[in-house]
A and B are shown apart, each in its own frame.
Chain A
Amino acid sequence: MKRLWTATRPLMNIAYPLRGVDGCRVAVQRARSAPRDTANQSRALRDIKGRARDWSLAVVCLGLVAFVEFASTQGNQAANRQTVWPPRLSGPAPGEVQVLPVQGKVHVIVGAGSNITVQAGDDGVLMVDTGLASMSPKVLAALKMISTRPLRYIINTTEFDEYVGGNAAIADTGEIIPFRAPDYTAGPQGALDITRASVISYYTLLHRVAGPAGKAPRIPEEGWPDNTYSIAQKRLYFNDEPVIITHLPSNTDGNSVVLFRKSDVVSAGGLLDLTTYPVIDVAAGGSIQAIVDALNGLIDITVPASHAGGGTLVIPGHGRIADHAEVVYYRDMTTIIRDRVQDMIKKGMTLAQVKAARPSRDYDTRYGRQTGTWTTDMFVEAVYQSLKR
């Protein structure tokens, strides 16, 4: 079409002023209004010739206009016409990852299990979560697309496999800047392994991934957090911005969320999962009340730019990049389901009766699953059990 456009440009320059009524209608009117004089044969013949010429001009004119319109408007856009409805949106193919810019110094890698937040700058690279172990080669390749600076920190928000699985392989590629001479051995700080990235988490997350004594750990020891905290917050200043790690128990008692204060991005981990209901591991200290409280805490640190949207962006554990409004909708959904199940418990309903009543039924098409590792049934049961405690 571009070639056609170029080749016919001179023709179109001539025809373009004729577009519409003011061009062709004049020619047609002239043809229609030519005087008729049937009394004089020679004049009549001239009239016929003249009218034929006028009509020919009118037809040529109309032809040109039709062509110009096709080439300049419809023709140009035919190539862009969407044939699939609703439009299919692209995501990473199975087994592949996709890098998306978020804002400021923050990117997200999707498709590796959980979403992986990456903050990069002159100080190096900081990751939040590492995805599944099987995806580590793809994640490392994606990291190189974002920055070639050394990986310094990994922060684990959530203890589930798709968040911590890549710890060992990915941490091993990093290096931490030593804050003591390399041969300093006095005290625990001197024992830090500087040939790998430092892995930060809330302390209970370390306990869980290490597993109980005598049993196999959930992830290899090389991937265990070596930089834990046990109070409300841990803070870093990295790549010229504050990085505030806040303990917000929700899925378990070990969740953290990470605020990049200048970039204005929060990495929420498993607390916010826009693809399904939140996973609640009651045995590990998770509860629906903790989820609701943590979502309210997350709302407190996300500031919309205008009319409840934009501003602080939130990277969920799974699903698309979000903002204040998405967190509020998710909070609303979890709160409403909590209230319904609580009401059913007050009425003395059993777990089976609660499940049969489908307290999440208006959200199931959007967030529910019938199969997989976290089904609607498991969610309702976890809500029930955590409220019964």
Chain B
Amino acid sequence: MTLLVGLVALWDAPAFAQVDISGLWRPLPRNQDGSGMTGDAAGVPLSNEGQWRAQSWSPDDFDTAEWVCRPHVWDYSLEGPLSAMRLWTETDEASQKIVAYRGHINQEEQETTIWMDGRPHPPENAVHTWSGFSTGEWDGDTLVVTTTHVKEAYIRRSGLMRSDRTAVRTRWRRMGDFLQATVILYDPVLLNGPYIRTTMMWVHDPAMPMFPYPCEEATETAVPRGSVPHFLPGQTRLPGLNPKLADRFGTPYGARVGGPETMYPEYIAKMRAMPKPAVTAPPGSDGP
């Protein structure tokens, strides 16, 4: 009898294979990805190219007129701040099947469509967008989304980038009134391995208001039009990339530049043997 009851419990799970993820979702406060120290890439599997890109990045990049309206892209928004989100379905009237999930994130009004009807991804020469092109399929009670055709975008807002050749796999899972997303980035250019973020969580909140977040293209900024802020090789002024400065955690410089091995617990033992900078970064220069 106990065995049969066990079977009941097991069979209950697939009975809910296609859960309803539509609705209004309020993000729960949590630490953002990374330590927050400007320039810190510890735990991110940057390739050499990704590290070099990070080392030339200047914070003034955000003040470049053309980038003032650059959004937190969909896969970053799931991690970033203010990601109040609305998900809804598009249904085929004749069959009552779900054709697609649509999504809207408050932060810079990013939208996505997750096609559930088995359509192929567009040809390689089709336009890339901030959210990319997504298809989904159910893996038990988890909606697994495959995204291609993305534009280059930042992983963290301090010069860590992923390229336009990135494929993104997102796993959506609803647990009662909670929704979780796990985002895995596969970038053959600026990463040396998959980068996994699992910290995103929302709570269902049918009364949550959503607000517009338009952005008007900037015509005049502090950065002269046509110039591109960046640091020349070896001249970065980011505290996280200054070998002489220590952050609040005493993270060795070698770890702060990131790379695949910095993702794994075994690296902690290696870090213990690394020299730690003696000079603490000035207050406020290592992020919030």
- Which residues of A come within 8 Å of B, CB atoms? 19-21, 24-25, 28, 32, 55, 58-59, 62, 65-66, 69-70, 73-74, 77, 79-82, 85-87, 89-91, 98, 100, 108, 110, 292, 296, 299, 303-304, 306-310, 313, 319-326, 328-329, 331-332, 335-336, 339-340, 343, 357, 359, 361-366
Inter-chain CA distance A329–B67, complex, in Å, is 10
Q: Considering the chains assembled together, what is the distance between the CA atoms of A309 and B129 in angstroms?
A: 7
Give B228 Cβ to nearest chain A Cβ, in Å. 4
Which 10 A-B residue pairs are closest in the complex by CB-CB distance?
A: A362-B52, A86-B167, A80-B118, A89-B124, A335-B228, A20-B15, A321-B127, A307-B71, A320-B125, A328-B66
Within 8 Å by CB of B109, from A79, A85, A306, lies A306
Question: In the complex the two chains form, what is the Cα distance from A230 to B11 in whole Å?
Answer: 76
CB 8 Å contact bits of B30-52 with A (1 = contact, 0 = none): 00000000000000000111101
B199 at the interface (CB under 8 A from A): no
0 or 1 for each of B8-39: is its CB under 8 Å from A? (1 = yes): 10011011111000000000000000000000
CA distance A323 to B158 in the complex (A): 24
A-B contact pairs, 15 of them (CB 8 A): A21-B12, A74-B138, A77-B137, A80-B118, A80-B135, A98-B125, A100-B123, A296-B226, A299-B66, A306-B214, A307-B70, A308-B215, A309-B71, A320-B124, A332-B228
A87-B146, A339-B232, A361-B49 given; A65·B129 CB < 8 A:
no
Chain B residues within 8 Å of A328, by CB: 66-67
Q: Contacts of B47 on A, CB cut-off 8 Å? A: 365
Residues of A within 8 A of B228 (CB): 331-332, 335-336, 339
B215 touches A307 (CB 8 A): yes
In contact, B167 and A87 (Cβ under 8 angstroms) = yes
Given contact pairs A74-B17, A81-B137, A340-B232, A320 touches B128 in the complex (Cβ within 8 A): yes
Nearest chain B residue, comparing its CB with the CB of A19: B15
Partner of B126, one of A320, A357, A363: A320
Q: How far is the CA of A99 from the CA of B230 in the complex (A)?
A: 39
- Cross-chain contact of A91 among B123, B146, B165 (Cβ < 8 A): B123
- Could you say which residues of chain B place their CB within 8 Å of the CB of A58? 4, 8
| Majority DSSP secondary structure for residues of B touching A | loop
- Is B152 part of the contact surface with A, judged by Cβ < 8 Å? yes
The answer to whether B151 and A325 have CB atoms under 8 Å apart is yes
Does B146 contact A307, Cβ atoms closer than 8 Å? no
Docked Cα-Cα span, A223 to B30, in Å, equals: 64
A contact residues around B138 at 8 Å (CB): 73-74, 77
B215 touches A20 (CB 8 A): no
Q: Which of B7, B14, B129, B215 has the most CB of A within 10 A?
A: B14
B130 on interface, CB distance cutoff 8 Å = yes
The reply to whether A362 and B53 form a contact with Cβ atoms under 8 Å apart is yes
Contact of A20 among B12, B67, B71, B130 (CB under 8 A): B12
- Bits for B137-154, please: 1 = Cβ < 8 Å to A, else 0: 110000000101101100
**B11 — which chain A residues lie within 8 A by C-beta?**
24, 62, 65-66
Report whether B123 and A89 are in contact in the complex, using a CB–CB cutoff of 8 Å.
Answer: yes
CB distance from A258 to the nearest CB of B (A): 18
Q: Using CB atoms, name the residue of chain B closest to A362.
A: B52
Q: Closest CB-CB distance, A352 to chain B, in whole Å? A: 17
* Shortest Cβ distance from B152 into A: residue: A329
Q: Is B129 touching A310 in the complex (CB atoms < 8 A)?
A: yes
Q: Does B121 belong to the interface (CB within 8 Å)? A: yes
B44 to chain A, nearest CB (A): 15
CB nearest neighbor in A for B147: A87
Inter-subunit contact B49/A80 (CB<8 Å): no
Chain B, range 132-178, C-beta contacts under 8 Å to A: 135, 137-138, 146, 148-149, 151-152, 163-165, 167, 169
Is B108 a contact of A91 with CB atoms below 8 Å?
A: no
Q: Which of B56, B69, B127, B152 meets A307, CB within 8 Å?
A: B69
Pair B71/A361 contact, Cβ less than 8 Å: no
Interface: B189 (CB within 8 A): yes
The residue on A at minimum CB distance from B51 is: A362
CA of A65 to CA of B15 in the docked complex: distance in angstroms?
A: 7
A313 and B127 contacting across the interface, CB-CB below 8 Å: yes
Q: Complex formed: what's the CA distance from A329 to B128 in Å? A: 13
**Known pairs A24-B8, A65-B11, A326-B128. 14 more at Cβ < 8 A?**
A62-B8, A73-B14, A74-B17, A89-B148, A91-B123, A100-B126, A303-B217, A313-B127, A320-B126, A326-B151, A331-B228, A335-B228, A340-B233, A365-B49
B139 to chain A, nearest CB (A): 9
Tell me the smallest distance from the CB of A204 to a CB of chain B, in Å. Answer: 25
Per the bound structure, the CA–CA distance linking A331 and B270 in Å amounts to 40
Q: Is B273 an interface residue (CB 8 A)?
A: no
* B222 CB within 8 Å of chain A: no
A260 to B71, CA, bound (A): 27
**Interchain nearest-CB distance for B243 vs A (Å):** 19
Whether A365 touches B189, Cβ cut-off 8 Å, given contacts A87-B146, A326-B151, is: yes
Nearest B residue to A309 via CB reads B130
Whole-angstrom CA separation of A41 from B89 in the bound complex: 58
| Inter-chain contact B148/A86, CB cutoff 8 Å | yes
Q: Does the CB pair B4–A306 fall under 8 Å?
A: no
B209 within 8 A of A: no
Q: Does B186 contact A (CB under 8 A)?
A: yes
Q: Tell which of B11, B48, B68 has the most Cβ of chain A within 10 Å.
A: B11
- CB pair A20–B16 under 8 Å, yes or no, is yes
Give chain A residues whose Cβ lies under 8 Å from the Cβ of B8.
24-25, 28, 58, 62
Which A residues lie within 8 Å of B17 (CB)?
Answer: 69, 73-74
CB distance from A334 to the nearest CB of B (A): 9
Q: Are A32 and B124 in contact (CB under 8 A)?
A: no
A28 touches B5 (CB 8 A): yes
Contact check: which of B12, B53, B215 meets A25 at CB < 8 Å? B12
